[in-house]
Amino acid sequence: MAMSPSSLLTALLGFSALALSSASGSEPSLLADINPLGGDGQVQMLFNINGELVFGANKCDGPYGAANVELRAFHPTSGMRDLTTTMSSSFESQEAYVCEFNSKVYFSAYHPQLGMELAYLDSSEEGFTLVSDLVPGYTDSFPRHLTVFGDAMYFNARRSNKEGPELFKATASDEISLVHEFNSVDYRGGDPKYLTEFRGKLYMQATSDDILVGAELFAFDGTDVTMVADICASVSCSSSPSHLTVFNDTLYMSAFGDWDTGRELWAFDGSSVTLAVDIVPGSGSSDPRGLAVFNGSLFFGATTPATGTELFRLDGKSAVLVAELVTGPDGADLGTMAQLEGELYMSRHTDALGWELYRLSSTGNAIELVMDVCATPLESLPRFFTIHDGDVYFAADDGY
């Protein structure tokens, strides 16, 4: 059944709608530019490594316009350069965890025969060397949340198909060992995330079926792992503390308190966990994310009914809107943030560009696009042809 032009434009979000006159044979004309600026750079995880921003990103320059996700580095004066060359479309930017340890840059790398494993950058043709194949063969160990604590690097990984992700460490000699098993139940795993050092301990979100709690706040003191707080103590409730960040000798996090407060910004002072600010009062959630310290303040992304997801700053017991990238309730999602040479960089998502690299302006009240990593037009993918009033209507992605 033929679609009307209005229903066509409504249904085909993410494409540009074009019309071609069947009588004149003229070039297609643009009806509605739904995706005005091309492909998605997939810039999501930012790390400051050796004076550069390091992240996984898609330049959209693979064969026939396919994705080309590699580990890349950016500096404001020299631009962007490739660090790896062989991971391509099998590598996803949100899996690109990076950490500097023992004079090496470690990251979660994709190997075509060995899957996702721990590696470090080098000068080889591929750009990296695998540390080990923790799960032998094609199966991934998925190393994530790489964090230096003491004289070792800790991370989340799994060592078999039958085990879920647990807490591991790598020594300076690249020896890998299991530190703590949160869950003895097959396929589950504690899935420790957001590893952050605070007052001599390594804090993290983890789940432990063995002690009958959901995803809560745990700490490792170098010997033992213990639960710090059951923030959402209700039955079948997990606070899932995330984006742990130290600011003013306090550990801040995004957490779900209970069904009355939703997910908001919480603080741990070393003895107790308390609600820092209820940005969306009541049962609604502001879902704070991407916490980062910059110029003596704590910045983070948060979502409100009025602004959508935008950049906020903690001011005492309140959250202050810093700048709106997309005006109004739609907002623009925020990934992670990193400071480089006195500027605050961030990954942001808009309908127009997807995930790209931005920064806070020098005035501190605006968000600027640093670069459109994926500026290459993609395939037009013409589809959904229908005839109306002697014209042929179809949907296509023009890449702009």
Interatomic CA distance for residues 184 and 210, integer angstroms: 7
pLDDT confidence of 184, banded at 50, 70, 90?
confident
- What do you get for the CA distance between the two ends of the chain, in Å? 30
CB neighbour burial string for 298-329, b if at least 16 within 10 angstroms, e if fewer: bbbbbbbeebbbbbbbbeeeebeebbbbbeee
What is the DSSP track for 110-158?
A: EETTTEEEEEEE-SSSSSEEES--SS-TT-----EEEEEETTEEEEEE-
Q: Give the pLDDT confidence of 281-319 residue by residue, as tens digits.
A: 999 999 999 999 999 999 999 999 999 999 999 999 999
Considering 4-13, 356-365, 387-396, the range whose residues carry the highest mean pLDDT is: 356-365
Interatomic CA distance for residues 286 and 308, integer angstroms: 9
pLDDT confidence of 111, banded at 50, 70, 90?
confident
Give me the residue spans of the domains in the chain.
9-395
Q: Give the pLDDT confidence of 66-109 residue by residue, as tens digits.
A: 777 889 999 999 999 999 988 765 666 677 899 999 999 999 98
CATH architecture of 9-395: 7 Propeller (2.130)
pLDDT at 104: 96
Residue appearing with tokens 């979660």: 108
The fraction of the chain above a pLDDT of 90, given in percent, is 59
Sheet of 98-101, strand order: 98-101, 104-111, 115-121, 128-130
